[in-house]
Structure 1
Amino acid sequence: SVNKKICKTLSIGTKANAICEMLTGESKAVFAKKFNVPRTTLNSWLENKDKILDVIDVDTFSVNRKRIQTSTHSDIENYLLAWLCQARAQSILVGGPILAEKANQFAAQLGVANFECTNGWLEHFKARHDISSRLVCREANSAPQLQINEWKSMTLVAILAQYELKPHCFNGIQINRLPVQYMANKKAWMVSTIFEEYVCAFKKVVLIVDNCPAHPRITGLKAVRLQFLLPNTTSHTKPLDSVIIRNFKIHYHHDLVMRMIVAVDSGKAFKLDVLMSITIMKKAWDLVEKKTIANCFRHCGFTCEQPAGEDNVLGVESEESSRFSNTIDQLRIIGLWPTDVSQDDFIDVDAVVSVSELTSDSDIVAAQSKIDKPDHDDNAEEDENNDTNIQHSLIKLAAD
């Protein structure tokens, strides 16, 4: 009997990962054997590498999809996806009927005639963007583990393979001496314009961020690669959400309480202003250990290194947390701390406070309309040696 040749179609994520590996210059024969595909298939991937990698860059489709096929009404789909990301960021439960209604509303706003969001269109929309029936899942234990593992093993690996651990722009720069950036906003929110300015000031770098109304999909970037995490999986894929933020907040709140105690002991009224808050914040960030940051990045898949004897700081109470707890116990004994307020209550008091702008439907349409008018990232053509004006102080997170 004659063996029939089986046609094998791999996912977009696998293709992107393979392309990044092939660009290192190793023999195609090695990769043909590794991915179990003929060389002609590898050549086809390389010919379409810009298209495939662009899909990964802008998070257009799920990395599990095998074909790059856009919707007939891609503009409506883009607006609907942006609206859904905002709803998810607020932990709002969104079902199929609501999505269908929003799609119809966007169609009306855009003046698209004879559009009706059918079940078929909606199912294709969900499939393209890997949206499950459980559209909102805020807790870590409800996050889709399979998608998280695939994102770490495919998308993240493909991204990191194209970047050096230490960019050339940091040569001769003492990162720990860079000042804290301060920006003010009347609404006291992180807004998309601030984020855009922050992103466009970078040179050769990849920024991996979570889905948030203040994080728009900026087009026209050349030297900057903006990669979004999977929605609702930040506790698994976002290092800051692992332990780093909580560690920082413990240091901040403990320092705040100690200052309050000093004020009480001296008979003075305690007043907290913006300048004092910035001072405490800088001190708290400096107290977050490098080991904590490195392990959080390692836990989220940003490095494959597993040094022997590594202390597992994930989920382990720090010494600072223990000292803070002892301080609270002492204050509670002398009646200066409410009996029904725990350390966690105090640290997480702002957990439900909105810290980013909320965009209306018209804002979403306006933002998405900028896709056809790229005018960002002029720094790509500047001299890479002009590095002395770098003003970003949070880029050393994983390097150490």
Structure 2
Amino acid sequence: MSSQRPKAFTIEEKGAIICRLENGESNSCLAKEFGVGHSTISMIFKNKNRIKESFNSNVLKPKRLRKSRQENVDQALIQWFKNMRNKGIPISGPMLQEKANGFAARFGILDFNCSASWISRFKVRHNIVAGKIVGESSSVDQNSTTNWLISVWPNLRRQFSDDEIFNADETGLFYKLMPIKTLKFKGENCSGCKLSKDRITVMVTANISGTEKKKLLIIGKSQKPRCFKGVKSLPVDYANNRKAWITSELFEKWLRDWDRDLVKKKKKILLLVDNCPAHPNVTDLKSITLAFLPPNTTSVLQPMDQGIIRSLKMNFRKNLVLKMINCLDANENHSSTKVTVLLDAILMVNDAWNKMSQSTIHNCFKHAGFIESHNGLPIQTSEHEFDEEDEIPLSLWSRNLNSDSLAAPEMWEDYVDIDSGLLTSKEPTDENIVQNISAKEQLESDGEEEVEEAPLPTAEEALKAAELLSRFVHSNIENDNLTIAMSSIHNSIRDCFYNKMKKQKQTKITDYLQ
């Protein structure tokens, strides 16, 4: 009988083995390569869900997956720890002990007294190590970024093509903000939420190749805005809560809805998100592999933050400025030069998203280091590369309009970035954390309605507008695809108009009995 101890694999090694098995490599070949029995490889694959969960959470070095006996306390403490580290607050062992005892009391665990050894095991379970704070506490950890790109990212992406790897991120948007108001807000801290009265949160999602831009998720304050009355379909997904923020419940619902859609299409994807409090580790997904970027690295690793979101806002505000100019040129009063309803903003931001070029999205992923070189190492470019239309500065674009009504050119860049620091999620309190883990928190529902309301155009008004637009397209634009599309729109609106006319003229039998 051999006295040699069986080989113990780290989580990183097990994750790589699972990826290779899922890519079609045989159990026997891997067993022979690593010098272990078939049963060892089979056991790793049997526990793939737990291993993937740890692997995707950047827990790589432990060789065994040991759960805590106080699992609720463990999960609450790691959520609290991530929140504090995302804020750049240094955490010590005694602080963890004190917090663990506090969570135990909230869960009603009376016989728990957190010891130093419990904290040691907690740190091993979650790959927490001691480190010296250098410079600003909120600075990006370059070592974590490099290590993740070299050791974690290649294994994550191995079983997915560029078309199947997505990144999602949220951004706050002041959808009524006009450039002439920028002077009032210059230097004001958006995180204080003083400007959040007319805001939405936009979830932006696309794949590495830029070939698929997922439908936007828009989060507003009202559950049933008045401007939605009579609207049969929206080009975006819409959700709500009182702050117009993303929440863990909204994120999980959005994720599971997408997962069900992918199951129907028999498609599997990898989704990369940051580890903010509103992004829980959703389990039991069938078609989505959820992976989290390392803490304090999203400003460098998050592809959406490398220019995609900024280009989206720039294009949105170009639409907004054009609306303002049209109103001013028509000698309408100032109150009409703003977006009066949420529906206007949704249509404009969706139009801006549709215009985002494939090359701009792909190059932002490349800038973040997600595109590999010929030697297999990630490429992090020093300069951004944007499509020509997406990179035109708003200040240059505005000068070309030759309008005396516009703000000074130097104010335009402030206008683009005015809501870049706007909060999109709420840091949970200790009570929120406990409620989430206990599965007692209910989805927040807000039945308030928007105070403003704009009447929907009638079928007759829409038909007149379609006829006018159709004449303009046919006489000014030489584009066969656009001409065909315009004819289709015109015909659809005409059919809608005549159908409504028929319904109005139909006489009911009860009319003869009156």
Q: Provide TM-score, normalisation by structure 1.
A: 0.72
Which amino acid in the other structure matches residue 396 of structure 2?
Answer: N
Which amino acid in the other structure matches residue 196 of structure 1?
Answer: E
Structure 1 residue 140: Cα displacement: 12
User: CA offsets per residue over residues 76-133 of structure 1, 9 Å max, x none?
Assistant: 11101122333445x2524225433322210111222343444443344334323355
Is 1:129 paired with 2:198? no
Structure 1 residue 230: Cα displacement: 2.1
Corresponding residue for residue 18 of structure 2: 19
Measured in 1, the distance between the counterparts of 2:320 and 2:154 equals: 40
What SS is found at the alignment partner of 1:182? strand
Contact 1:243 1:296 in 2 (8 A): yes
What SS is found at the alignment partner of 1:285? helix
Is 1:276 paired with 2:344? yes
Go from structure 1 to structure 2 and tell me whether the alpha carbon gap of 1:356 and 1:312 turns closer, same or farther (over 3 Å shift). same
Measured in 2, the distance between the counterparts of 1:141 and 1:364 equals: 23
Measured in 2, the distance between the counterparts of 1:281 and 1:313 equals: 29
Measured in 2, the distance between the counterparts of 1:45 and 1:177 equals: 37
Measured in 1, the distance between the counterparts of 2:15 and 2:68 equals: 21
Decide which of 273, 279, 283 is 1:215's aligned counterpart: 279
What SS is found at the alignment partner of 2:272? strand
Contact 2:314 2:416 in 1 (8 A): yes
Is 1:189 paired with 2:245? yes
What SS is found at the alignment partner of 1:183? strand
Which amino acid in the other structure matches residue 64 of structure 1?
Answer: K
Which amino acid in the other structure matches residue 259 of structure 1?
Answer: K
Higher mean C-alpha deviation, range 55-64 or range 197-206: 55-64
Structure 1 residue 264: Cα displacement: 3.0
Measured in 2, the distance between the counterparts of 1:333 and 1:223 equals: 51
Which amino acid in the other structure matches residue 338 of structure 2?
Answer: K
Corresponding residue for residue 171 of structure 1: none
User: CA offsets per residue over residues 59-91 of structure 1, 9 Å max, x none?
Assistant: 5661233332333433211101122333445x2
Contact 1:56 1:63 in 2 (8 A): no
Corresponding residue for residue 55 of structure 1: 51
Which amino acid in the other structure matches residue 262 of structure 1?
Answer: N
What SS is found at the alignment partner of 1:45? helix
Is 1:285 paired with 2:353? yes
What SS is found at the alignment partner of 2:238? coil
Measured in 1, the distance between the counterparts of 2:351 and 2:284 equals: 37
What SS is found at the alignment partner of 1:100? helix
Structure 2 counterparts to residues 1-400 of structure 1, below 5 A: 9-26=8-25, 31=30, 37-40=34-37, 43-57=39-53, 59=56, 62-89=59-86, 91=87, 93-96=89-92, 97-133=94-130, 142-163=139-160, 179-201=235-257, 202-203=259-260, 204=263, 205=268, 206-268=270-332, 269=334, 270-272=337-339, 273-300=341-368, 304=372, 314-316=383-385, 319=388, 320-327=390-397, 336-337=406-407, 341=411, 343=413, 345-370=414-439
Contact 1:213 1:359 in 2 (8 A): yes
What SS is found at the alignment partner of 2:307? helix
Measured in 1, the distance between the counterparts of 2:415 and 2:384 equals: 18
What percent identity do the matched residue pairs reach?
Answer: 30
Measured in 1, the distance between the counterparts of 2:241 and 2:79 equals: 23
Higher strand share: 2
Go from structure 1 to structure 2 and tell me whether the alpha carbon gap of 1:240 and 1:60 turns closer, same or farther (over 3 Å shift). closer
Higher mean C-alpha deviation, range 242-251 or range 321-330: 321-330
User: CA offsets per residue over residues 296-327 of structure 1, 9 Å max, x none?
Assistant: 33455655477xxx996952466444441224
Measured in 1, the distance between the counterparts of 2:380 and 2:301 equals: 20
Go from structure 1 to structure 2 and tell me whether the alpha carbon gap of 1:160 and 1:57 turns closer, same or farther (over 3 Å shift). farther
Go from structure 1 to structure 2 and tell me whether the alpha carbon gap of 1:8 and 1:152 turns closer, same or farther (over 3 Å shift). farther
Structure 1 residue 338: Cα displacement: 5.7
Go from structure 1 to structure 2 and tell me whether the alpha carbon gap of 1:339 and 1:265 turns closer, same or farther (over 3 Å shift). same
Q: Provide TM-score, normalisation by structure 2.
A: 0.58
Q: Which of 1 and 2 has higher RCO (CA within 8 Å, sep 6+)?
A: 1
When the two structures are aligned, how many residues end up with a matched partner? 355
Which amino acid in the other structure matches residue 359 of structure 1?
Answer: P
Contact 1:252 1:281 in 2 (8 A): yes
Which amino acid in the other structure matches residue 73 of structure 1?
Answer: Q
What SS is found at the alignment partner of 1:68? coil
Superposed CA RMSD: 4.2
Measured in 2, the distance between the counterparts of 1:120 and 1:106 equals: 17
Gaps of 5+ in 1: 168-173, 372-400
Higher mean C-alpha deviation, range 360-369 or range 57-66: 57-66
What SS is found at the alignment partner of 1:93? coil
Corresponding residue for residue 167 of structure 2: none
Structure 1 residue 279: Cα displacement: 1.9
Higher mean C-alpha deviation, range 262-271 or range 177-186: 177-186
Go from structure 1 to structure 2 and tell me whether the alpha carbon gap of 1:25 and 1:195 turns closer, same or farther (over 3 Å shift). closer
Which amino acid in the other structure matches residue 432 of structure 2?
Answer: D
Higher mean C-alpha deviation, range 146-155 or range 185-194: 146-155
User: CA offsets per residue over residues 195-243 of structure 1, 9 Å max, x none?
Assistant: 2221222234443322122222334444443333222222343321222
Measured in 1, the distance between the counterparts of 2:304 and 2:123 equals: 28
